[in-house]
Chains A and B, each alone.
Chain A
Amino acid sequence: MTLRTNLALIIASSLLGGIYFCVVLPLGGLLMTERGVPLWQIGVLGGIPWAATLAVTLLMPGLLQRFSPRLLYVLARWFGFIAAVIFVGSNNLVLWALGYLLLGLSGGMAWVIGDALLATLPPPGQRAKVMSFYMFILNFNIILGPLLVAVIGTGNLAFILGLLIMLLNLLMGYLVRFPAAEDKKKGAAGFSLLVQIGLPIAGLLLVALSSGSFEGSSIKMLPVQAFSLGYSERLGALAAVA
């Protein structure tokens, strides 16, 4: 497999995973609203994927110390597929919470490994081009996910389509090629490991936090601001996309 094909596979896999994430979150929210689930419960369930993503990204340095990136990447794709099976096969809120949890774990693990592969596999002169293209493509998650829900509606068909997307994503997970394994260094673990890795790049971590802070608040708060300032609901939604 050529490097170009491998990179295309990683990008396509991230795109598919992202689309599914952006299908299931609004779809789940809409269905729960229709079923009369209290808003606070919808809010809690909607927060599970983000909390799981945050937790697993914090655990990833330790996991990568113990397990191969390939194993974790395939596991991430399995978590996503199992979540898709849960959403197709059940209406139970507890199982949905499990589905959201698996989705968050899957997203966090695949995010870290996929981004790292795309940032380190290409020759140094092409890395910026590959990463910029990847970030551009990822924006389509936010557009395509809700668009699919809008076109297909809130029936079970959207979940079935999601299952097919995640099956394809699982197969892609097996096809992605990884660089030869390096020797595992015995060293710090847990919090000490995080400090060891994070300290030299602490300044950049804060810059990432400020970027995430803007992106997160623009999706959730800018529609509120735009609507409160007198713009229509549609323009409010557009404020988040902008």
Chain B
Amino acid sequence: MWLLKRFTAHQLVVPGSLLLAVAALLIAPLSGHMASYFAILFIAGGTAGALYTLVMLDVTNGVSSEQGMRRISCVAASYTAGGMLGPLLAGFAMEASLRWGYSLAMAVVTLGALAFYLKFPAHNRAS
């Protein structure tokens, strides 16, 4: 909330994604120490939730209520698809390496999404 008073949702998507990727990568090395492990999980979980809020605000920025609903339905579908695919990917990755699999899988997904976002940022075009 404090950040959103100073920056637009659009400006926060890139740092938010980078923070999530870094936090995801840090889960593995910090998993041996309980306090650090839970602290980084808390940060990563909070960042992932905040990213969803930022996307919601960004896609509805400057559009009508009905257009906003159509866009949000696409965001909700994408988020739900992620919720279904994420555990599948994490499961395979953890099979390969219990400690590093989860971290690497989530970091790759986050950075991949960020790269795509940077390539196609023209989200405010009327649709």
- Please give the distance in Å from B54's CB to the nearest CB on chain A: 8
Contact residues in B for A229 (Cβ distance below 8 Å)? 31-32, 98-99
Interface size for B (C-beta < 8 A) is 80
> Beyond A115-B56, A203-B120, A207-B113, is A213–B82 a contact (Cβ under 8 Å)?
yes
Which A-chain residue is minimally distant from B8 (CB atoms)? A128
* Measured CA separation A221–B103 after assembly (Å): 11
Q: Mark A107-126, 1 if CB is under 8 A from B, else 0.
A: 01001110111011100000
Q: Is the CB of B89 within 8 A of A119?
A: no
Q: Mark B51-67, 1 if CB is under 8 A from A, else 0.
A: 11111111110011110
Interface size for A (C-beta < 8 A) is 69
Q: Is the CB of B1 within 8 A of A60?
A: no
* Measured CA separation A108–B72 after assembly (Å): 11
Contact residues in B for A207 (Cβ distance below 8 Å)? 13, 17, 51, 54-55, 113-114, 117
B36 within 8 A of A: no
Contact residues in B for A116 (Cβ distance below 8 Å)? 60, 65, 68-69, 71-72
Contact residues in B for A204 (Cβ distance below 8 Å)? 13, 55, 58-59, 75, 117, 123
Contact residues in B for A61 (Cβ distance below 8 Å)? 70, 73-74
* Measured CA separation A225–B76 after assembly (Å): 27
Tell me if A's interface is mostly helix, strand, loop or mixed: helix
Q: Is the CB of A128 within 8 A of B57?
A: yes
Contact residues, B105-124 vs A (CB, 8 A): 105-106, 109-110, 112-114, 116-124
Contact residues in A for B17 (Cβ distance below 8 Å)? 207, 210
* Measured CA separation A212–B55 after assembly (Å): 12
Of A57, A64, A128, A179, which is within 8 A of B76 by CB? A57
- Please give the distance in Å from B118's CB to the nearest CB on chain A: 7
Q: Is the CB of B91 within 8 A of A221?
A: yes
Q: Is the CB of A54 within 8 A of B77?
A: yes
> Beyond A228-B98, A229-B98, A242-B38, is A119–B1 a contact (Cβ under 8 Å)?
no
* Measured CA separation A121–B63 after assembly (Å): 11
A positions within 8 Å CB-CB of B: 50-51, 53-54, 57-58, 60-61, 64-65, 69, 108, 111-113, 115-117, 119-121, 127-129, 131-133, 135, 139, 178-179, 182, 194, 196-218, 220-222, 224-226, 228-229, 231, 235, 238-239, 242
The 7 A-B pairs with the shortest beta carbon distances in the complex, nearest first, are: A212-B82, A216-B83, A213-B86, A60-B73, A203-B117, A128-B4, A212-B79
| 7 A–B contacts, CB within 8 A, in A order | A64-B70, A108-B80, A121-B65, A197-B70, A203-B120, A209-B78, A225-B94
